[in-house]
Amino acid sequence: MTTTPNDPAGELPGRPPIVDLATWQAARDELLVREKAHTREGDAIAAARRRLPMVEFDGKVEVVGPDGPVPFLDLFQGRDELVVYKHMWYDGAPPQGQCEGCTTTAWSMKDAVYLNARGVSFAILTTGPWDEVASFVEFMGYTQPWYSVRDVEGPAGGGMGYVTCFLRDGDRVFLTYSTTGRGNERINGSLGLLDMTPYGRREGWEDNPEGWPEAAEAGSPVGGHGAPICWYWRSDADGNAAWGPTSRPVPQWSRPDATPVETLGRHGRHH
C-alpha cells in the first residue's frame, strides 16, 4: 500500500512519519548542517588533543607476554606510536566471568592493519596473571598482542578500562593521551552505525520520540543513568540481553563450546 503524508495509515506507532522524498531531503539537509558542525568541532578537539603535553616514563619497565617478560618498548614493534587498550581482569574467573565491556571492546579491534600502515602499533594490556590471560586469549581466538602488566606502576600499568596512546623517540617513551568510559566507543564501530538508525542503541539514556521501542531489558548494574547497556555486553544463548548465571559476554557465543553456564565465575578483582 502506498501512503502519502496526509494518509493516516502512514502514521505508524513507534516509527518516523512517512513523507515524500522532497520533504525528507529538506529535513535531511537541515540535520546535515548540524552534522557538519559536529564534524568540524571533532576535528578541532582532535587538533587540541595533538597539542597536549606528554609525560616521559621508563620504557624499559617489563611486561609479560607469550615470550615471557619484555620491555614495554617492545610493544611499539619498531614503530613510533602505540595505542593500547587496558582490559580489566577478574582473578581466577573463567572466560564468561571476565569484564563484559572490555571483552566487547577487544573483540571490536581484531586487526590493526590500518593503524600499522600509519606507523601505529596496537596491543592489549591487562592486570591478570599471564597464565590466566593466555588461556583467555586462546579461548577467544584473539590475534592482537596481549601483555600482563600485573604490579606494573605508572602509565604502562595504571587503571584498566582505558584507551591510551604513547609516543616513542628512540628509547624514550611518552604517555600522550588516555580516555575511558564512552571515550572507548571509538573502537566499537557498531555503536556509531546504530546511532544512524531510527531506533538507535535502545539504551535508557537516549532521547527518543514518544512511542519508540523500549530500551533493552536486563540493565547493566554499572551502566549509569539507568542505562541498560547489557544487550551488547552480555546475553544468554538465545541472544537475549541477560545479566545472570546463564549468560556470557556477547562476543563469546561465537566461540566453540561456549555454552550456558551456572555461574558468572567471578572471584577477586585485580585492577
What pLDDT was estimated at residue 54? 98
The grid coordinates of residue 266 equal 567471578
DSSP string, the chain: ----TT-GGG--TTSPPP--HHHHHHHHHHHHHHHHHHHHHHHHHHHHHHT---EEE-TT-EEEETTEEEEGGGGGTT-SEEEEEEE--BTT--GGGS-HHHHHHHHT----HHHHHTTEEEEEEESS-HHHHHHHHHHHT--S-EEE-TT--STTSS-SSEEEEEEEETTEEEEEEEEEGGGGGGG-HHHHHHTTSTTTT--TTS---TTPPPPPSS--TTSSTT--THHHHEE-TTS-B--STT-EEGGGGGSTT----S------B--
What pLDDT was estimated at residue 229? 57
What are the extents of the domains in the chain? 52-182
What pLDDT was estimated at residue 91? 94
What architecture is domain 52-182?
3-Layer(aba) Sandwich (3.40)
C-alpha 130/C-alpha 64 separation (Å) is: 7
CA angle 255, 93, 261 (to 5 degrees): 55
pLDDT under 50 in the chain at which residues? 1-5, 8-9, 218-227, 268-271
What pLDDT was estimated at residue 201? 86
What pLDDT was estimated at residue 225? 38
What pLDDT was estimated at residue 253? 92
What pLDDT was estimated at residue 230? 65
What pLDDT was estimated at residue 61? 97
The grid coordinates of residue 87 equal 582490559
What pLDDT was estimated at residue 234? 87
What pLDDT was estimated at residue 86? 98
What pLDDT was estimated at residue 223? 40
Could you count the other beta carbons within 10 Å of the beta carbon of residue 230? 26
Contacts of 94 (CB under 8 A, 6+ apart): 261, 265
Rounded to the nearest 10°, the torsion over CA 101, 232, 130, 76 is -70
pLDDT tens for each residue of 8-38? 445 667 899 999 999 999 999 999 999 999 9
Give this prediction's pTM: 0.87
